[in-house]
Amino acid sequence: MKNVKWIFVLYSFAALLAMVGIGVAVAFRSFPMIFLAILLLGAIMVMGFKKKRAMIEAGLM
């Protein structure tokens, strides 16, 4: 674990916050907020996977 890729740590914390947002939205019973939090989680995951693929193709991983 010498080479920590800090960008992926940030992506994981952002995804975690989106999941917390889903929980908060469920607690408030706000369907639009649930939908937006799920979309945000999906967008964060897609960005992370794209970044990983780009780094693998560039030989950085």
Locate 4 and state its tokens.
């920590």
Look at residue 3 in the predicted model and tell me its pLDDT: 84
pTM of the model: 0.84
Q: Is residue 20 part of a domain?
A: yes
Closest by CA position to 15, among listed 43, 35, 34, 36: 43
Q: Is residue 49 part of a domain?
A: yes
| CA–CA distance, 24 with 33 (Å, rounded to integer) | 9
Look at residue 7 in the predicted model and tell me its pLDDT: 94
Q: Is residue 40 part of a domain?
A: yes
* Domain hosting residue 50, numbered range: 6-57
Count up the domains in the chain and report the number.
1
Can you give the pLDDT of all 61 residues of the chain as single tens digits? 678 889 999 999 999 999 999 999 999 999 999 999 999 999 999 999 999 999 999 988 8
Look at residue 1 in the predicted model and tell me its pLDDT: 62
